Structure 1
Amino acid sequence: MKLINDHLAVKARLLPPTGDGFLMLAGEVGTWRGGYFASPPTQLPAHLKALATGIEAREANVFRAVLRTPGEGDELLAARGIRPARYDVVVLIRTA
């Protein structure tokens, strides 16, 4: 797999399990122009949906962002050295 803008990638961090039975995978795969998604990945969500049907889980959903709310607190996050989360595609899996 060829990674594009690998230098901008943030390492995945794992959180301790809570017992709720949800697994969330999220990524930034496109570009934003202001509050709107500029280059929607048309094939990726469909491909992820096809993969999610093969997962042994109670439920698996794929979400694609189309707009982002204003006022994310970019200045506050930047002051703390944190990049704002701008996920384009999210896979939510509900497990047993």
Structure 2
Amino acid sequence: GGVIKLSARKEGNMVRFSVSDTGIGIKEEELGKLFDKFKHLNSGYVRNNKGTGLGLVISKKLVELHGGEITVESKYGQGSIFTFTIPINEILY
């Protein structure tokens, strides 16, 4: 099995949340499609576990509505790190 790590840390007036895994990772040419509506990656896992293709689109929009941003880093065959930041005042109020 793989490992999933969650972390959160304060950076100035922002909080940075990260989710990392040691899964299959994402091919570099696929990274640009992750936040596109109704897009599915070509990995075997995704082909066998269909979704709507909206999860990351909705996540990105919610983070942006709160004044933050979301990013992804990945190495194919090694895993991925999804990170989002939001202003602290969005958490407290």
Structure 1 or 2, whichever has the larger Rg, is 1
Give the TM-score category using the shorter length. Answer: 0.3 to 0.5
TM (norm. structure 2) is 0.41
The structure carrying a bigger strand percent of its residues is 2
- Relative to total residues, which structure has the larger helix share, 1 or 2? 2
Q: TM-score, normalised by structure 1?
A: 0.41
Which fold has the larger relative contact order, with Cα–Cα distance below 8 Å and residues 6 or more apart in sequence?
1
